[in-house]
Structure 1
Amino acid sequence: MASATLTPSACDQSGGIHGRRGDGNRPRALTSTVPREYVHRAAVSEVFLTNWRQSGSDGWLVTAQWPRAHSFYGPAHGLHDPLLLIETVRQAGILLSHVAHGVPLDHRIIWQQVRYALRPQALRAALKPADIALHITDRDVVRRRKQLVSIRQEFRIVCDGAELARATLVYSCHSPAVYRRVRGEYGDLALANARRLPPAEPVPPQAVGRDRTGDVVLSPTDRADRWRLRVDTSHPVLFDHPVDHVPGMLMVEAARQAARAAAPDWALPVALTCSFERYAELDAPCWVQARPAGVADDGRQEVAVCVEQHGRALLDARVTGLPLPECLPDLC
């Protein structure tokens, strides 16, 4: 795969992709997405980012557009899916690793932590796609021999002009050689997928806030607070392209679904923190456990979620939810 060096035909001097120059018919704003390889997506339809530029010495402005409908992160109760926020943050972090920090496209981007806290009112879906602006500041930048090793990025996110959320993403970057050394035989894409387990039976979709069985990522066990992670590598969004381990976005979705099952009175995750401890492998079952962790005076309920494999923690998450939007007259 080619390196992340950009050609003059791809970018203007501010670092963003530009439209055609010339006459009065030039578009006022970008009308396409960023190249899909810059956000590690195979499907163009799954790319949400539209442009970027530098903002100050250590800051960036990345723009995005959320569709009115999406096959997996679709709106509900008149609100955009909050996990669109996580996917957009994911894409922005990867984009900037390549175009701002010179990470080659064949390097792996590995999450350590992702978190957000949002204002539900700003999630309202309109009769047009939502325009998203991500104001990003680089923190704790670690380089080795001029190559980016790890970084923490802080996000202030605006949706259609309204303050939506604050988010943080912490990730590390690994060359192919380092990744092979860390992963061993599990880094062999063909072998990992040849050994993958078939997806287990799903819980009822309504128990985890889903409409379709194929979108359920939890399988029942003999305990009400514990599930087996359901890993369906044919899912067109969660597995947009073949990978050698369970994707981070599937783990985030598992935390959301487990929290919903543990606290069925709420459906809107207004805050979420996920810390990633280890890779989740495809050849052994993962177990998800959730427990309510308290209710605030405004009805917000926190749920603690953990995911483990072979008795070792993979993910530690805290999900804070609000009751169903129809219970919130000031929201809808």
Structure 2
Amino acid sequence: MLTTTERPIAVRPSALTTTVAREYVHRAALSEVFLTDWIKEGPDSFTVTAQWPRSHSFYTSEHGLYDPLLLSETVRQSGLLLMHVGYHMPFGHQISWSRLQYALNPQALRIEPTPAEIELHVTCSDIKYQGKLPRTMVMHLEAVRAGSLLAMASIRFNTHSPAVYQRLRTGRNVEEVFKAVPEPPEPVSRAAVGRLRKQDIVLSPTEDSGRWQLRVDPSHPVLFDHPVDHVPGMLLLEAVRQAGHALDSAQAGAALPVSVDVSFNRYVEFDEPCWIEAEQIPAVSPSSGGRRTIRVNARQGDFFAFQATAELADAASL
């Protein structure tokens, strides 16, 4: 059950609202920046504010509910922002996430007549420094909307200097790697994954039930907002959601990942097929309220690139 700590309502001087600088959240398009402000509350605690649009080209609404992956992207952006403004991480350093966990209240996802204003209370822990800069860190986030708890989340970040990252990636040039991304294979059907546009489908069919090839389309304007040298984490989270939908594509509405625990073990590369394998975990009790739990692995070569467990709810039942 989600619980929250009572907080006094902060009274702040009225000011014009804008988004944070897009560079802080590693986005090229201003339209993809969801964060609006931040404030330092303590040595390792912050408050970040965000706004969710009522409609989005990729994080689509279903049955009057926001897409939970908007939360994941907001958490990701919050971590990047605070690494830069709160811990003075220079631009050019690589910041990657190795684990994400969240649980949210689906009722707080209701779309209202105005965009959703989100407040995230962030506490940073398990900070290991290399010199004056964090090398690893865990951020714990409590997301609140209109005074009600929206979600609890945590995300672990690792950082690398440009020189270390070049050695780690064996000198891969971002522009060259990105230009050489193979053409994406044919997708599964739109109905199988609950997506209306072919461009948004990240799974390609195989002969095995519960197994797909990851479909990577570098022309996607949201998942590939700018050139990168490996498959983005948000694309992998979308693969988890679509695999869950494909396991039960007869459901009435979209599969909403209301809780997720995903560990990223290694980068997913562009030049080798990545296989998404999913299975449904039997319910412990029959009173699941229409929710189901899945386990999803991504296998590339001889390695598991990521492992995820997600609880899914049918949007039509909420």
TM-score (normalised: structure 2): 0.92
Distance 2:122 2:228 in 1: 28
Distance of aligned partners of 1:194 and 1:323 in 2 relative to their CA distance in 1, 3 Å threshold: closer
The aligned counterpart of 1:227 is 212
What does 1:245-284 correspond to in 2, within 5 Å?
245-264=230-249, 265=251, 267-284=255-272
Cα displacement (A) at 1:160: 2.8
Cα displacement (A) at 1:115: 1.3
SS at match of 1:110: strand
8 A Cα contact 2:241 2:255, kept in partner? no
The aligned counterpart of 1:122 is 108
Please give the per-residue CA displacement for 1:250-284, whole angstroms capped at 9, x wherever unaligned. 01111111111113336221101110001111111
The aligned counterpart of 1:40 is 26
Please give the per-residue CA displacement for 1:105-148, whole angstroms capped at 9, x wherever unaligned. 11111111011100111000011100000000001011011111
Partner AA of 1:281 in structure 2: E
The aligned counterpart of 1:217 is 202
TM-score (normalised: structure 1): 0.88
The aligned counterpart of 1:67 is 53
Q: Aligned pair count?
A: 301
Q: Which segments of 5 or more consecutive residues in structure 2 lack a partner in the other structure?
A: 1-11
State the Cα RMSD in Å. Answer: 1.4
Partner AA of 2:238 in structure 1: E
Please give the per-residue CA displacement for 1:12-44, whole angstroms capped at 9, x wherever unaligned. xxxxxx9xxxxxxxx824421000000000000
1:305 is matched with which residue: 269, 286, 296? 296
Distance 2:115 2:179 in 1: 39
Higher relative contact order (CA 8 A, sep 6+): 2
8 A Cα contact 1:30 1:51, kept in partner? no
SS at match of 2:267: coil
The aligned counterpart of 2:4 is none
Distance of aligned partners of 1:253 and 1:322 in 2 relative to their CA distance in 1, 3 Å threshold: same
The aligned counterpart of 1:172 is 158
SS at match of 2:121: strand
Distance 1:166 1:29 in 2: 28
8 A Cα contact 1:63 1:134, kept in partner? yes
Cα displacement (A) at 1:209: 1.7
The aligned counterpart of 1:104 is 90
Runs of 4+ aligned residues of structure 1 deviating over 4 Å after TM superposition are none
Distance 1:66 1:293 in 2: 32
Task: Using the aligned pairs only, state the percent identity.
Answer: 50
Partner AA of 1:316 in structure 2: Q
Partner AA of 1:46 in structure 2: E
Please give the per-residue CA displacement for 1:51-72, whole angstroms capped at 9, x wherever unaligned. 0001133210000000010000
8 A Cα contact 1:48 1:64, kept in partner? yes
The alignment status of 1:158 with 2:150, answered yes or no, reads no
SS at match of 2:306: strand
The alignment status of 1:191 with 2:191, answered yes or no, reads no
Distance 1:195 1:80 in 2: 35
Partner AA of 1:319 in structure 2: A
Cα displacement (A) at 1:311: 2.5
Please give the per-residue CA displacement for 1:185-230, whole angstroms capped at 9, x wherever unaligned. 4x31133124321101011122112111110000001012100000
